[in-house]
Chain A
Amino acid sequence: MASRNSFQTPANRPSSSTSSVPSLAAVADPPPRYIDGAAMDYFVIEMVNTLRASSAVATARVKKVEKELVDAGLMPPSAPAPPTLKKSQLRDSIGSDASLHPVSKDGNCEDDEELRARLEAIGMHVGANMAERLCHERGLFSDTLDAIKFICKDLWNACWEKQVDNLRTNHRGVYVLQDNSFKPLTRISGWEGRAESLKRARVYVAMPAGIIRGALGRLGYQATVVPEVTVLPQCTFQVKLPKGS
């Protein structure tokens, strides 16, 4: 089984169970922890399915409460705006890393949106911590381009074992990162035809987009990241940095 030196689990340190204090050198540069690469891929894929089921349950719960309110006459049977409020109050009970509640028209789309938002939130957390871990050895970033290059090389290497194939910029804060064989997408195949597969594949890039966004956020750049899949397994991420950074 392949193993790779990525995904340092930022978990609890088990070491200080002994009575003596760990030596300074051990604490300063802890040995890297390894994780099985194939298992990781499997978990990430399964995570999407699990979260889909979970967010369906959460949405159903929210809708049920809404329906009760509507029936009790407390709420006019309207409009998209109230669902946003309701959901944000129930957010705590959902107990996840949070969800955004964009307004949308039909059922499926909404579920997918919520799933994508959750995946992106998870990705942001993961990305921020990966960036912390990877920055341990290196020095300061000289400018924005340096930060983007760090993402393209170090982060991509750690997460997906290759580097970005193509980086384009318009020198005004928009960067396009292109990966010709994006690792999460290489294993996707469907029997329904290309368009369906593309649609399904979109969900799987939500977490990587979150990872990039989280990493940039931790570095200090509030960016928006838009992933695009046109041809499997190629994927492009459009990163927009705010002006003045």
Chain B
Amino acid sequence: MPPQLKLNAVAFVSPQNHPILIRTFAQGQDELKYHYIAHTSLDVIDERIAAALASKSTDCYLNLLYTMEDVAVYGYITPLKVKIIIALALTDSVVRDADVITIFRALHTAYRQAVANPFLKVNAPIDGYNDHATLLQAGNSKWRAFRKRVDDIGKAVGAVGSAT
């Protein structure tokens, strides 16, 4: 019986620790709570990164960060320093690392495909190192496709569990 993972929320954080997108899937839950969770995760992630650097590991997957009342929070950092944080509903069954890693890779792919859109920054200055300004407007219409992809992933997680 494959464990049913339920994705509660997803958060993407830019390399400068600005939020890009925070999306919740659980009904009847306070969205602000997940903002708070994402924010506190940043500190934990920083600790883990420092530890990883010290031990010369190059793993992207940061594993379980911490658990709160009813969610378990996992973290992942891409080589481009974008952090992905997900909150899974706590279950009693065993959560396999491989499943969580698959979820993260799917999220990373969605992010990558959304960011590759050249029309996001048509009017931006050339030295697009102020990427961050554009990223922060992730709430608005141009990022709709990204949100839809993230939603799809959320549904896929709920529906499929671990059909791999």
Give the B-binding residues of A (Cβ under 8 A).
10, 12-13, 16, 21-25, 27-30, 91-92, 95, 97-100, 117, 120-121, 124-125, 129, 131-133, 135-136, 138-142, 217-220, 222
Contacts and interface: CB of A to CB of B under 8 A. Distances in A.
B126 A22 contact: no
Nearest to B118: A125
A97 B109 contact: no
A12 B106 CA distance: 15
A16 B124 CA distance: 30
Given A21-B155, A132-B116, A124 B105 contact: no
A25 B149 contact: no
Interface stretch (B29-37, B75-83, B136-144): B75-83
Nearest to A12: B145
A213 B149 CA distance: 29
B79 A140 contact: yes
A133 B106 CA distance: 13
Contacts of A136: 105, 108-109, 112
A132 to B, nearest CB: 5
A222 B126 contact: no
Contacts of A124: 126, 128
Interface of B: 15, 52-53, 56-60, 77-81, 102-103, 105-106, 108-110, 112-113, 115-118, 121-126, 128-129, 145, 148-149, 152-153, 155-157, 159-160, 163-164
Contacts of A217: 128-129
Nearest to B151: A21
A226 to B, nearest CB: 16
Given A97-B118, A140-B60, A25 B112 contact: no
A27 B124 contact: no
30 contacts: A10-B112, A10-B113, A13-B113, A13-B149, A16-B152, A21-B155, A23-B156, A24-B102, A24-B156, A25-B102, A27-B156, A28-B102, A29-B105, A97-B126, A98-B123, A100-B126, A121-B126, A124-B126, A125-B118, A129-B115, A132-B115, A133-B112, A133-B116, A135-B78, A135-B79, A139-B58, A139-B60, A141-B79, A142-B53, A220-B15
Contact of A132 (B112, B125, B145, B159): B112
Contacts of A142: 53, 56, 58
